[in-house]
Amino acid sequence: MTIRRIYKNVLISVLLCLCFSVFAQNAETAALNKRNKFIENAKQFLGVPYVYGGTSKNGIDCSGLVFLAGKGIGLTLPRTASQICEYSRIIEDSDKQAGDLLFFADNGVKVSHVAIYIGDNKMIHAASSGSKTGVIISEITESYWKRTYYCAGRIIDAVSTSVAQNQPSSGGASQQPNSQATSQNQNGDDEIRSIPEEGIVIATIKKEDKEQRPTNTNAGKKDNPFLKKITLDVSVAGGWSLFNTEKFAPVFRGVNSKVFASYGTDNMKPGLGLAFNFDPSMEICQLMFMLSFIANDYIRIYAGPVITMGTPVLPGTTEQISASIFPGVLGVSFQTPTIDIGSFKLQFCQDFSFTIFNKTDGSALPFGSAAAANFSLQTGIRVTFPHF
């Protein structure tokens, strides 16, 4: 392999990294637009009276407002405040962004009210009682809301600080804060009884149906703040590279599967990972133990030691080389925006992975051989499981 060809291959790899970086930025812009639209959908109902189970401009309740605002951006949400809370990804209060959800519980256990955070310590919601009712904008710093605040939840991908600065201000709303409003009904929850496009909901709910509605399982999360910050995801990917030691050509590098447990909020989230890699081009299997760091919803960095099973060879040759345990692997993963499948999150992912190999005497491989053996790409899917 000539030096010119090696540099050409490296340049192509760098360009691929840049392309995925641009893709991640575009994904954040799409998430920002989705959040803005979600808020605007809710504001279309300002002044609409509160009707328990309502889902139209003739009358609406708190979960109905969130349901219809979400429907306008392609989300199909559950139909009660407590179920929306279970569906959401719980986040730190300090990390909430305009377009996230706020949940409230009078008794501190069962969620009975949901609102949409619109920035500047304001929220839009449908209030059932108090000095003002219906769809209004309130301050989240009011004593009632501070006392009954339960948690913040996320149903739309987060955006970085620089992108979030473009969020529209909630100012200009003519509604006055409602210091006594609550959307708790006699049974302690809101529920949409049917979802017609227009008109007042006329379906009824039997008393026994109300009594059998599921209670909020997030009570355990409230009591276990450590567990509610843990997320678990699994990925499966096909490995490939752009060249071997002889020529520039796609090379199949086997199958890779990773499991990560991460702790914290959506941004700046550390974690631990375990991966299994089968690479037929090098005649090896590998077990990787990794520390990871999630910079945002679209980028993860990982590194750690590697245990190699089998005697590795240079791709495309029979020349034996030696695997390094530590340093082992260094990688970066780019993810698409999430696709909701029930309470699971699906993403497509592209990893750029660098694994250390040396000559059998421990010395470094020539540049071309090192590039062919050490560098690989992995393209696949990732599934994120619901919070514990």
Burial of 319 (0-12, 13-18, 19+ CB in 10 A): middle
For this structure, is 349 an active site residue? no
- Assign residue 58 a region (left: φ > 0; alpha: ψ between -120 and 50; beta: otherwise): alpha
User: Cα–Cα distances in Å, from 53 out to 17, 58, 59, 262?
Assistant: 49, 11, 8, 38
Answer yes or no: are the C-beta atoms of 76 and 66 closer than 8 Å.
no
User: Cα–Cα distances in Å, from 337 out to 16, 123, 158, 383?
Assistant: 19, 25, 10, 12
Cα torsion through 359, 362, 368, 369, rounded to 10: 30
Structure tokens at 302: 């990982």
For this structure, is 125 an active site residue? yes
Catalytic residue among 62, 85, 151, 349: 62
Q: Which residue has the tokens 């030696």?
A: 322
The 8-class DSSP code of residue 245 comes to S
For this structure, is 62 an active site residue? yes
Q: Which residue has the tokens 């090192």?
A: 370
Beta-carbon count within 10 A of 337 CB: 18
Distance, in Å, from the CA atom of 206 to the CA atom of 192, rounded to the nearest integer, reads 13
User: Cα–Cα distances in Å, from 380 out to 53, 215, 239, 337, 349?
Assistant: 42, 37, 9, 14, 5
The 8-class DSSP code of residue 139 comes to E
Answer yes or no: are the C-beta atoms of 180 and 128 closer than 8 Å.
no
Distance, in Å, from the CA atom of 204 to the CA atom of 192, rounded to the nearest integer, reads 10
Distance, in Å, from the CA atom of 302 to the CA atom of 293, rounded to the nearest integer, reads 6
Catalytic residue among 17, 19, 85, 113: 113
Catalytic residue among 85, 125, 151, 349: 125
Burial of 184 (0-12, 13-18, 19+ CB in 10 A): buried
Q: Which residues are catalytic?
A: 62, 113, 125
